[in-house]
Structure 1
C-alpha cells in the first residue's frame, strides 16, 4: 500500500511541476506579446490537438518509466522527489527579469553578446554564443544559477526524468566490470554543467568514483556547490573541452553525456565521440542523452524546426538529421542501441573488449 501512496505522491509532484511550467509559459507568452509583439512572428502555427495529445501520452510514459526504474532499484525513490526548491524560490524572479533581455536579443537577432568583464578569447568559436539568447551565454554565474530551472520550465517539469534515463543503461553496461570493486569504478559525465546528472549518478552508484568536465567555470562552480552538499563527496571536476579530454587512454568504465550534442558543429560531435572512445576502457559503456531527431517522430517536426529560431540553437537543424549511430560506429563503438523517452533520445554504445585504444 505504501508504494501506491508513494506513486500517487510522485504523480502529484510531477503534475504540480508541469502545471507551474505551463502557467509560466502562458504568462510569459502574454507579456511577450504585449511588450515585444514582433517576436510572435517567429512562431509556427499552433500544434494540433493530436500532437498535444501525443505529447501528454509521452509525458505520462516517461513518468511511469521513471517510477518503474525506482521500483527496480536503479536509483532510490527519494531521487524522484529531488528538486532544487531553494534555488527555485531564490532564482525564479531572475528568470522573469531576464526575459526582457532575452526578448530583446530575439527581436534584434543578437546571439554573440557578452558582458565586457567576461573573457571569451579562450573558448572555441562554437561556444561564444548566447545559447537560448540567455545573458552571457554559459559564462556567467547568473546563467549557471538559472539553467536547471529554465530547462525544467521548458520541458514542463520532465527534465530530471529525462536525465534519469541514462542511469539504467549506465548501470547495465557497468555489469561488464562486476569483478572490479565498486569504489574502483570510474564514471565520467562529459559537459556536466551544474552537476545535476552527476548527483543522480551518485544516487545510483553510491561507491563509484565520479568525474565531470565542462567548458564553463561558472557552471563548474555551481556543480561543485551542488555535489559538495552530499556527505563525503569530493567532486572531481575539471574545466576542459569535450573534444580534448584530459585523461589517459582506457581510464573510465562508463561515460555519460547529457544535452550536449545538439549544441555542437558536426565535426566537433565526431571528435568528442572519438575522445570518449579513447578514454573508455574496453568493455565500457557510453550513454548519450539528447533531443529527439526527425527520424523518431516526424509529426514533431514543427516543434523541432521552431526550436532553433526561438532559442538560438544554430547546430540543431543539422543535429536532428545527423546519424550518431554511424558516428559511433566510425569511432569504434559496437552493440549500439537507441531509446526514446518523451522529447529525448538515447544512444547506448559499447567499446569492444578487444579494442586496442
Structure 2
C-alpha cells in the first residue's frame, strides 16, 4: 500500500514537472508574440495616424480616461491565465507565436501594406464597400459589411488569410490568450471524460484559430467548424484539419440534441439585436441536455467600468455597427431565455467567457 502511494506521488510530481515546463514554454511564446504584434500594431498606427485629420472618426465619451496601470494589468492577465491553464494540464502549449521568421515577416508586411487601405476606408466612413462585390450577393444584409473596415469583408481569401494578423496587431498579441478563456472553461468541464464520445461544433469559426486550439486540446473528440464564409472555411480547414460546414448560425444544419458542446467566439457583437435571440435558440436546440456552450466575446462596460472609455471608442474607429447594442445586452438573460444557464465564467483583458449549460 505504501509502495503504491509512493509511486502515485512520484507520478504526480513528474506530471506537475512536465506541465511546469509546458507553462514556461507558453510564457516564452507569449513574450515573443506580444513583442512582435505590439511592434506591428504600433507601426500601423504610426503609418496611418487614425486619430488625426479632418476625416478622423469623431469620438466623445463621459467615461474617465483609462488608467494605464489598469490596462496593463488587464492585458497581462490574459497571458498569466493562459500559462496557468497550461500548468494545470488543461491544454497543451499553443503554437501561435511567430515561429518561422520569413513567414512571420511576410504576414506582418502584408498586414502593414493593407493598413493604409483600411485607414482610407475608415476615413471615408465606408463600412459597406463589400456590397458592390458580386461574391457578397445572397448573404444577409447585416453580414455584407466591411467589419473593422477590413478589405474584402468576409468574402475573400486575402481577408481570411490576413484576419488573424489584424486581430493580433489590434490586441498586441493577446487575441489567442483571450479566446482561450472559453477553452479553459470547456476543458475544466470536460476534464476526465473520454474524448472519443464528445462532439462539438465551433459556430462562426472564422479563419479557424480557436478551432485549431480545440483540436490541440481535444485531439480525439469529434470537432467541426461552421461559418457563413467559404473563404474563411477554406482557411479554417487548412489550419485545423477538421471538417467544415457552410451555414448561417440562424439555421444550424444539425439535429436537435446532437452535440455535447458548441463553441462561439466573437460572433454576438457582430449580430443585430433581432438576430441574437435566434442564434442563441439555435445553439440551445442542437445541444444535448447537459451540453454546454463555451462562449467568448468582448467584455462589456459593466464588466470593466475602468475600461469603459476604450470600449466605447472601439466601434467609432473600427466599423462595428452592432457593438453598441451588444455592450448593453444582458447576456445571461439572452441565453437564459433560450434555456441555457450560466455554469462558469472568466475574463481576461478585453474578452469575457461564459460556460452555459442546457
TM bucket by the smaller chain? 0.7 to 0.9
Is 1:182 aligned with 2:174?
Answer: no
Aligned-pair distance for 1:27?
Answer: 2.5
Matches within 5 A, 1:53-72: 53-72=69-88
Q: Distance between the aligned counterparts of 1:255 and 1:52, measured in 2? A: 36
Match of 1:102 among 118, 130, 137: 118
How far apart, in 1, do the equivalents of 2:89 and 2:22 lie?
15
The 1-side partners of 2:275 and 2:53 are apart by 36
Summarize deviations over 1:17-54 as a string: whole Å, max 9, x none.
22333333332223224997335454669x98862211
Deviations 1:317-339 (A, max 9, x none): 11111001001111111244432
Distance 1:9 1:211, change over 3 A: closer
Counterpart mapping for 1:234-313 below 5 A? 235-313=242-320
**Residues paired across the two proteins, number:** 340
**Contact 2:22/2:92 (8 A) holds in 1:** no
Cα deviation, residue 55, structure 1: 1.6
CA distance in 2, matches of 1:52, 1:89: 29
Match of 2:139 in 1: 123
Q: CA deviation at 1:119?
A: 2.3
Does residue 1:320 correspond to 2:327, yes or no?
yes
**Residue 108 (structure 2) pairs with residue 75 (structure 1):** no
Which one of 35, 39, 45 corresponds to residue 23 of structure 1?
39
**Deviation larger for 198-207 or 25-34:** 25-34
SS of structure 2 residue aligned to 1:187: strand
Q: Supply the distance in 1 between the matched residues of 2:50 and 2:174 (Cα, whole angstroms).
A: 29
Q: Name the stretch that deviates more: 235-244 or 59-68.
A: 59-68
SS in 1 for 2:275: helix
Shift of 1:130: 0.3
State whether residues 20 and 87 of structure 2, in contact with CA within 8 Å, keep that contact through their aligned partners in structure 1. no
Larger RCO (CA within 8 A; separation ≥ 6):
2
Q: Which runs of 5+ in 1 are unaligned?
A: 229-234, 352-357
Residues 261 and 291, structure 2, Cα contact 8 Å, conserved in 1: yes
Give the corresponding residue for 2:14. none
**Counterparts of 2:50 and 2:328 in 1: how far apart (Å)?**
36
Alpha-carbon displacement from aligned partner over 1:205-238 (angstroms, at most 9, x marks no partner): 121000111011000000111123xxxxxx2211
TM-score by length of 2: 0.87
Q: 1:91 to 1:116 in 2, by over 3 A?
A: farther
1:12 offset after TM fit, Å?
4.0
Structure 1 stretches of 4+ with a deviation exceeding 4 A read: 1-9, 47-50, 80-87
* 1:89 Cα deviation after fit: 3.0
User: 2:336 & 2:243 partners in 1: Cα distance?
Assistant: 30
Does residue 226 in structure 1 map to residue 226 in structure 2? no
Maintained 8 Å contact 1:118/1:139: no
- Residue aligning to 2:220: 207
The gaps in structure 2 that reach 5 residues or longer are 1-16
Distance change >3 Å, CA 25–CA 38, structure 1 → 2:
farther
Q: TM-score of the superposition, structure 1-length normalised?
A: 0.87
SS at match of 1:123: coil
Task: Answer yes or no: is the 8 Å Cα contact 2:66–2:307 preserved in 1.
Answer: no
Distance 2:173 2:195 in 1: 32
Cα 1:212–1:83, aligned 2, differ >3 Å: closer, same or farther? Answer: farther
After superposition, the C-alpha distances for 1:114-159 in whole angstroms (9 at most, x for unaligned) are: 2865322211111010001011211111110001111111111111
- Are the equivalent residues in 1 in contact too, given 2:19–2:86 (CA < 8 A)? no
Shift of 1:344: 0.3
Q: Is contact 1:173-1:254 (8 Å) kept? A: no
**After superposition, what is the alpha-carbon deviation per residue over 1:286-329, rounded to whole angstroms, capped at 9, x for unaligned?**
11100000111112111111111111000001111100100111
